[in-house]
């Protein structure tokens, strides 16, 4: 799973990226932690508690282990995650983030990083546009002073959101226009179906599916009057088609950043086709750093934190942290990890499942408890999950066994959030 961070200069993309990917060293044991400078791993808490909670309950009820002691640093967790971590049965799973710089006017015409920039976007499963909700910068990112009025901030915000949409629209319109005559010829042979197939083929690199193209084509048609035949379409008609296709292919979620200095009610009436979340990326970054230094105990996503080492704090540090505590509680959290969580689990509709080799003890071949947590589309079929674990497991799939119910399940069994599955395969 890969989420791209995009936005005009100086809005806080890199701050958001650093904050979201800064994990305490003991959980950052991800093999790809530094793949490229702008690619990192954010650890997101699974929504359902780790199944190691079920194991603990069983063992406790059978009197085989003691209840959790107060000094247990893992607060009861028994699993052995290969990546991420688990404390108090809060299992952290990896999600890739990419800091994509280079949104400039005219990217679709090759300005700035041009097509390389757009190709970076196309490689992501979802996009988060970081915007300056405080209106302190213009479209090129030049500072315009703090303390902007709500009207000015809103006007800049709308302009900013439109700007990315228009660049993407122009790029897609370009891809469609490139072979338009070829597409139109298919209409003569196959009717409208041929045109839809052409659009789908032109845009497969962007993750288009025939279904998403067909439905955005319907929405486009419903909006147009006297459409006429495609060989007569003006470039504005193709642009409108591109816009419909873009909203289907690239829902854009918005991190309304710098919310700490934004005028009140700035987000009222702002329309988007994805999630809109107030964010304070620099607050999140400061808190994660303080947590890494073991000055505070902070769980990303929460609206407060505890001081753990007050005597180590200087007076200015104490003051700054108290100020951030206030901001956190008045905004209901910094928004950073809440937005990633919402995009991953709600917008992209993913779940976390746990493949194991031993359906009784929920271990792998080496006896490790629940070592793997896979982030997969909700309802994924057992056999497809097997392919994600290993292609041999998919090819040789015989049956699965649900770890909780011990029921045998077939290749088409649909997985739910928090499921534990043993896969039997021919070797
Ligand atoms: N007040 C406030 N400032 C922020 C916040 N997040 C980032 N900033 C500041 O915004 C400025 C730009 O942040 P960057 O993260 O470098 O922005 P960017 O979008 O990566 O900029 P480019 O890489 O130039 O495109 C820095 O001075 C940050 O400290 C926030 O939540 N609140
Ligand atoms: Mg940057």
Q: What is the CATH number of the domain that holds 359?
A: 3.10.20.30
Contact yes or no for 176/238 (Cβ under 8 A): yes
- Collapsing DSSP to helix, strand or coil, 320 comes out as helix
- Give tens-digit pLDDT for 200-247: 999 988 888 889 999 999 999 999 988 888 988 999 999 999 999 998
Which atom from ligand 1 is nearest to the alpha carbon of 279?
31
- Which residue's C-alpha comes closest to atom 3 of ligand 1? 258
Banded pLDDT at 270 (limits 50, 70, 90): very high
pLDDT at 189: 87
Neighbouring C-beta atoms of residue 378, cutoff 10 Å:
14
Residue 199 lies in a domain: yes
Question: What is the side-by-side order of every strand in the sheet holding 408-409?
Answer: 374-377, 350-356, 420-425, 397-402, 408-409
Q: Would the pLDDT of 27 be above 80?
A: no
Mean pLDDT of the chain: 92
Q: How far is the CA of 13 from the centre of ligand 2 (A)?
A: 5
Contact yes or no for 32/41 (Cβ under 8 A): yes
Structural domain containing residue 238: 180-249
Q: Would the pLDDT of 403 be above 50?
A: yes
Residue 40 lies in a domain: no
Q: Would the pLDDT of 329 be above 70?
A: yes
Alpha carbons 189 and 187: distance in angstroms, whole number: 5
How many whole angstroms from its chain centre is CA 310? 35
Residue 8 lies in a domain: no
Q: Final residue of a domain: which of 249, 266, 294?
A: 249
Which atom from ligand 1 is nearest to the alpha carbon of 8?
25
pLDDT at 107: 82
Q: Final residue of a domain: which of 231, 249, 267?
A: 249
Residue 196 lies in a domain: yes
- Which residue's C-alpha comes closest to atom 15 of ligand 1? 12
CA nearest to 255, candidates 331, 351, 142, 149? 331
Q: Would the pLDDT of 378 be above 80?
A: yes
Percent pLDDT > 90 in the chain is 78
pLDDT at 228: 86
Mean pLDDT of the 77-83 span: 95
Banded pLDDT at 104 (limits 50, 70, 90): confident
Mean pLDDT of the 369-393 span: 97
Q: How far is the CA of 236 from the centre of ligand 1 (A)?
A: 36
Which atom from ligand 1 is nearest to the alpha carbon of 130?
19
pLDDT at 66: 95
Alpha carbons 5 and 340: distance in angstroms, whole number: 11
Banded pLDDT at 32 (limits 50, 70, 90): very low
Q: Would the pLDDT of 418 be above 70?
A: yes
Mean pLDDT of the 398-408 span: 97
- Which residue's C-alpha comes closest to atom 32 of ligand 1? 258
Q: How far is the CA of 10 from the centre of ligand 2 (A)?
A: 7
Alpha carbons 46 and 370: distance in angstroms, whole number: 14
Alpha carbons 15 and 132: distance in angstroms, whole number: 12
Alpha carbons 124 and 142: distance in angstroms, whole number: 28
Q: Would the pLDDT of 26 be above 60?
A: no
- Collapsing DSSP to helix, strand or coil, 201 comes out as helix
Q: Would the pLDDT of 142 be above 50?
A: yes
Q: Final residue of a domain: which of 234, 249, 264?
A: 249
Q: Would the pLDDT of 35 be above 70?
A: no
Q: Would the pLDDT of 152 be above 70?
A: yes
Banded pLDDT at 33 (limits 50, 70, 90): very low
- Which residue's C-alpha comes closest to atom 29 of ligand 1? 282
Q: How far is the CA of 137 from the centre of ligand 2 (A)?
A: 14
Pick the ligand that lies closest to the CA of residue 130: 1
pLDDT at 34: 47
Q: Where are the alpha helices (DSSP H) in 123-203?
A: 150-178, 180-190, 192-202
Residue 92 lies in a domain: no
- Give tens-digit pLDDT for 335-344: 999 999 999 9
Mean pLDDT of the 381-401 span: 97
Place of tokens 């072979």: 179
Alpha carbons 53 and 276: distance in angstroms, whole number: 33
Banded pLDDT at 24 (limits 50, 70, 90): low
Q: Residue 3 corresponds to which tokens in the numbers above?
A: 């989420």
Residue 230 lies in a domain: yes
The total number of residues shown for the chain amounts to 427
What residues does ligand 1 touch, defined as CB less than 6 Å away?
7, 9-15, 101, 141, 257-258, 260-261, 280-282
Per DSSP, 413 falls in state: P
Residue 361 lies in a domain: yes
Percent pLDDT > 70 in the chain is 96
Residue 97 lies in a domain: no
Count how many domains the chain has: 2
Alpha carbons 50 and 66: distance in angstroms, whole number: 19
Q: Residue 201 corresponds to which tokens in the numbers above?
A: 């083929």
Pick the ligand that lies closest to the CA of residue 143: 1
Contact yes or no for 42/337 (Cβ under 8 A): yes
More confident residue, 93 or 121: 93
């Amino acid at each position: 799973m890969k989420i791209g961070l995009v936005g005009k200069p100086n809005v806080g993309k890199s701050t958001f990226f650093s904050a979201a990917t800064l994990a305490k060293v003991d959980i950052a044991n991800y093999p790809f932690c530094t793949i490229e400078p702008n690619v990192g791993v954010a650890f997101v808490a699974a929504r359902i508690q780790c199944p190691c909670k079920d194991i603990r309950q069983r063992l406790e009820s059978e009197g085989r282990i003691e209840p959790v002691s107060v000094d247990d640093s893992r607060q009861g967790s028994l699993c052995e995650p290969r990546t991420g971590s688990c404390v108090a049965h809060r299992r952290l799973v990896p999600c890739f983030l990419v800091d994509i710089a280079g949104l400039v006017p005219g990217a679709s015409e090759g300005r700035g990083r041009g097509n390389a920039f757009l190709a970076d976007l196309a490689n992501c499963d979802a996009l988060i546009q970081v915007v300056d909700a405080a209106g302190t910068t213009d479209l090129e990112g030049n500072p315009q002073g703090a303390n902007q009025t709500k009207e000015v901030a809103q006007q800049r915000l709308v302009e900013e959101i439109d700007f990315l949409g228009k660049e993407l629209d122009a790029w897609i319109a370009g891809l469609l226009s490139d072979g338009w005559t070829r597409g139109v010829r298919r209409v003569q042979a196959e009717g409208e179906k041929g045109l839809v197939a052409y659009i789908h083929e032109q845009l497969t690199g962007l993750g288009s599916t025939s279904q998403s193209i067909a439905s955005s084509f319907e929405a486009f048609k419903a909006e147009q009057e006297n459409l006429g035949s495609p060989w007569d379409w003006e470039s504005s008609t193709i642009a409108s088609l591109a816009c419909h296709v873009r909203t289907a292919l690239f829902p854009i979620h918005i991190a309304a950043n710098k919310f700490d200095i934004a005028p009140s009610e700035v987000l009222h009436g702002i329309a988007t086709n994805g999630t809109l979340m107030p964010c304070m990326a620099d607050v999140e970054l400061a808190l994660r750093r303080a947590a890494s230094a073991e000055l505070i105990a902070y769980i990303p996503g929460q609206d407060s934190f505890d001081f753990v080492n007050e005597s180590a704090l200087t007076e200015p540090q104490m003051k700054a942290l108290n100020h951030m505590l206030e901001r956190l509680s008045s905004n209901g959290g910094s928004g950073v990890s809440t937005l990633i969580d919402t995009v991953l689990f709600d917008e992209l509709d993913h779940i976390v499942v746990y493949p194991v080799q031993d359906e009784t003890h929920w271990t792998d071949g080496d006896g490790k408890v629940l070592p793997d947590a896979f982030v997969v589309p909700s309802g994924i079929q057992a056999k497809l999950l097997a392919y994600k674990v290993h292609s041999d497991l998919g090819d040789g799939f015989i049956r699965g066994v649900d770890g909780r119910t011990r029921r045998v399940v077939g290749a088409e069994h649909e997985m739910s959030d928090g499921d534990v599955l043993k896969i039997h395969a021919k070797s």
